[in-house]
Each structure stands twice: as C-alpha cells, then as structure tokens.
Structure 1
C-alpha cells in the first residue's frame, strides 16, 4: 500500500517491451545483441540479498521503502514514505 505521491516512484516490472518500432528488445535498432547472455551482460541486476529492510519486522523489502507490505497494511501507512494512508482503528487484525 503506497500513497498517491509515492505511486510514481514504484519501479517497473521486469518484462520485455511490446513488439513495436523503437523497442529496446528489437535487433533492428541496436538495442539487443544476438546470442547475448542477459545474466552476464546486465550490470545492475536484482540481488536477493537486498540491503533494504522493514523498520518494524526486519524483513527484506522488495522495493525501496521503509515498511514491508504486511507491516504497512497493519499500521495503515505508506510502505515507501511512512505517511498515514488508512485509519485502522476499528479493524480487527491478528498478529499472524
């Protein structure tokens, strides 16, 4: 759960571009090399040993933020900036 301001900061999903003129995964524009190993050629790969951790439960956060999804929802705050988004006063929530 993120606020409207932080929704623009969300990272993109790792999927190839649609097949169209000027896409980065086509060979005509020079964006893609033939027989290229993507694991070796990509410099900034996603690392499973991320350094970003949740403030509350110390669980790894998958995007740049302060809280994991579970803690952000239970507290009613934005996962990225910590701003109050939802009033959870009358919610019946468990710790599990």
Structure 2
C-alpha cells in the first residue's frame, strides 16, 4: 500500500519488446550480442528485489520501499515514504 504521492514513483513491469524495430532484445538494434556468454554478462542483469530490506522485519522488499507489504498494512503506513495512510486502531490484527 502506497500513498498517492508515491504511486507515481512505482516502477514499470519489464516485458520483452513486442515490435522488432527499435527493440532492445534483437540483434539489429545492437541490443543483444551473438554468442554472448550470460554468465560473464550477469552483472548487467536487472534484479527485481535489489538490496533494500524492510525496516521492521528485515525481509527483502521490491521497488525502493522502506516497509514490506505486510508490515506497511499492519502499521497503516505508506510502504515507500512511511506516511500514515490508514487508521488501524479499530482493526483486529495478529502477527501470525
């Protein structure tokens, strides 16, 4: 759960380019090398989970968030900036 301000910061889903012209996954545009060794070019790969961890439970989080989805919902805060979004005072929640 993110606030309206942080909703603009959310990343896009990476999918293969649909059209051949201008696509980065074809040989013509210079995007992919022929007979490329993927183990050697591994450092350039995109990692969806990165190195960021939740402040509370130390679980890896996606995007550039401070809290994981579970902790953000239980506290009622925005996962990215930590601003109070939801009042959870009357909610009946458990940690299990």
- TM-score band (shorter)? 0.7 to 0.9
Q: Does the Cα contact within 8 Å between 2:25 and 2:32 map onto a contact in 1?
A: yes
2:84 matched to which residue of 1?
A: 84
Listed one character per residue, the Cα deviations across residues 40-83 of structure 1 (whole Å, up to 9, x for unaligned) are 32534328782x22111222223321111100011111111001
Structure 1 runs (4+) greater than 6 angstroms displaced = none
2:69 matched to which residue of 1?
A: 69
1:56 matched to which residue of 2?
A: 56
Q: Offset of 1:19 from its aligned partner?
A: 2.6
Using the alignment, how far apart are the partners of 1:7 and 1:18 within structure 2? 26
Which 5+ residue runs of structure 1 have no aligned equivalent? none
> Aligned-residue CA RMSD in angstroms?
2.4
Matched residue count = 95
TM-score (norm 2): 0.76
TM-score (norm 1): 0.76
